[in-house]
C-alpha cells in the first residue's frame, strides 16, 4: 500500500503514546487520519496538529464505535488502514496476602473483565467494523489489496510477569486472533498484523522515578533504553507499505525477554 493523500486511516487510542505517534507518522505521509479516544482535549489538539479529525469513541461500546466509524467515513471516506492502540493495564496477582492480616485476597474479577473488554473485545470490535467497510472497497493494486489492520499486543502476550494475568490474557488474545482474522479476510485483500511492543516510553512511564526508568532501560539488551513511540509508528508504516506482511505478530522489543518480575 502506498501511503499518500488518497488513503485514510483510523487510529484508536490516538490521543497519546503509541497511537499519537502513529497518527502523526501516517499524517506525515499525507494519509487522512481520524483519531478515536476518550480524551477529548488531547485528541482534538493532536487532530488539529496533523490536519486530521477526532471523534470521542469508547471501543468497548458497539454504538460508540459504529458512530465513530460513520463520522470518520463522512470526513475522510472509508478507511484503508486501522491501527488499534487503545488499551489499559492493571497489576494484580491471582491471589495475594494482606501484609498486616495475612488474609488472602483474590484478583478483582471486575478489573480482570475490564482489561479484557478494552484490550481484546474492544480491539475486535474495531476490527470487525473496519473489515466490514474495507471488503467493499475497490482494490488498490494488481494484488487486489483493499486494506490493512494492525493491532497492538505486547511482549506480555508471551512473557507475562507476576501480576499481569489480566493484561497478558488480553494481549495473548490479540496475538491469538491475528492469524484467523487474516485468514478470514485474505480472500477480500485485507491484511492483518499485530505488533508486540516491549518497554516503550509512553504515558505509563511518565510518573516513574528516574531511577526506575534507568533500571527498566538497562534491562533491554540492545538498545539499552525504552523504545520511542515513533519507532512503533515507523513499524506500522512499514507494515502498511509491505504487502507481504500478513498474519504476522512482530516483537518490537530490543531483544528483551521479561523476567517474572
Under 8 Å CB-to-CB from 87, ≥6 apart: which residues? 13, 118, 119, 122, 123, 152, 170
Does 174 sit behind a cis peptide bond, omega within 30 degrees of 0 on the bond before it? no
Q: What percent of the chain clears pLDDT 90, i.e. is strictly above it?
A: 86
Mean pLDDT calculated for residue range 102-118 = 94
**Alpha carbon distance 11, 230 (integer Å):** 14
**Residue 77 zone, left/alpha/beta (φ > 0; ψ -120 to 50; rest):** left
Contacts of 147 (CB under 8 A, 6+ apart): 79, 80, 81, 82, 130, 131, 134, 137, 189, 190, 191
**Whole-number Å distance between alpha carbons of 79 and 72:** 8
Range in 86-95, 151-160, 202-211 the model is least confident about: 202-211
Three-class secondary structure assignment of the chain: CCCCCCCEEEEECCCCHHHHHHHHHHHHCCCEEEEEECCHHHHHHHHHHHCCEEEECCCCCHHHHHHHHHHHHHHHCCCCEEEECCCCCCCCCCEEECCCCCCEEECCHHHHHHHHHHHHHHHHHHHHHHHHHHCCCCCCCCCCCCEEEEEECCHHHCCCCCCCHHHHHHHHHHHHHHHHHHHHHHCCCEEEEEEEECCECCHHHHCCCHHHHHHHHHCCCCCCCCECHHHHHHHHHHHHHCCCCCCCEEEECCCCCCCCC
The string of pLDDT tens digits covering residues 58-108 is 999 999 999 999 999 999 999 999 999 999 998 899 998 888 888 888 999
**pLDDT tens digits along 225-234:** 999 999 999 9
Which positions are annotated as active-site residues? 167
Q: State the pLDDT at residue 207.
A: 66
Binned at pLDDT 50, 70 and 90, residue 31 comes out as very high
pLDDT at residue 206 tops 80: no
Stretch 160-177: mean pLDDT: 96
pLDDT at 204 > cutoff 80: no
Amino acid at each position: 500500500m502506498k501511503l499518500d493523500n488518497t488513503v485514510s486511516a483510523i487510529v484508536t487510542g490516538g490521543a497519546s503514546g503509541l497511537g499519537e505517534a502513529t497518527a502523526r507518522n501516517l499524517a506525515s505521509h499525507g494519509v487522512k487520519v481520524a483519531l478515536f479516544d476518550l480524551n477529548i482535549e488531547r485528541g482534538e489538539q493532536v487532530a488539529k496538529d496533523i490536519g486530521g479529525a477526532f471523534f470521542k469513541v469508547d471501543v468497548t461500546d458497539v454504538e460508540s464505535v459504529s458512530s465513530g466509524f460513520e463520522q470518520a467515513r463522512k470526513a475522510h471516506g472509508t478507511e484503508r488502514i486501522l491501527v488499534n492502540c487503545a488499551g489499559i493495564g492493571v497489576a494484580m496477582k491471582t491471589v495475594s496476602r494482606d501484609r498486616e492480616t495475612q488474609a488472602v485476597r483474590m484478583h478483582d474479577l471486575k478489573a480482570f473483565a475490564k482489561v479484557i473488554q478494552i484490550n481484546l473485545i474492544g480491539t475486535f470490535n474495531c476490527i470487525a467494523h473496519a473489515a466490514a467497510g474495507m471488503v467493499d472497497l475497490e482494490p488498490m493494486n494488481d494484488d487486489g489489496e483493499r486494506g490493512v489492520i494492525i493491532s497492538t499486543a505486547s511482549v506480555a502476550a508471551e512473557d507475562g510477569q507476576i501480576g499481569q494475568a489480566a493484561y497478558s490474557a488480553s494481549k495473548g488474545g490479540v496475538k491469538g486472533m491475528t492469524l484467523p482474522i487474516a485468514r478470514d479476510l485474505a480472500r477480500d485483500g485485507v491484511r492483518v498484523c499485530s505488533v508486540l511492543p516491549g518497554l516503550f516510553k509512553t504515558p505509563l512511564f511518565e510518573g516513574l522515578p528516574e531511577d526506575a526508568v534507568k533500571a527498566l532501560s538497562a534491562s533491554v539488551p540492545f538498545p539499552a533504553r525504552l523504545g520511542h513511540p515513533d519507532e512503533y509508528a515507523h513499524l506500522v508504516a512499514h507494515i502498511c507499505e509491505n504487502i507481504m506482511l500478513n498474519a504476522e505478530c512482530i516483537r518490537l522489543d530490543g531483544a528483551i525477554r521479561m523476567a517474572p518480575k
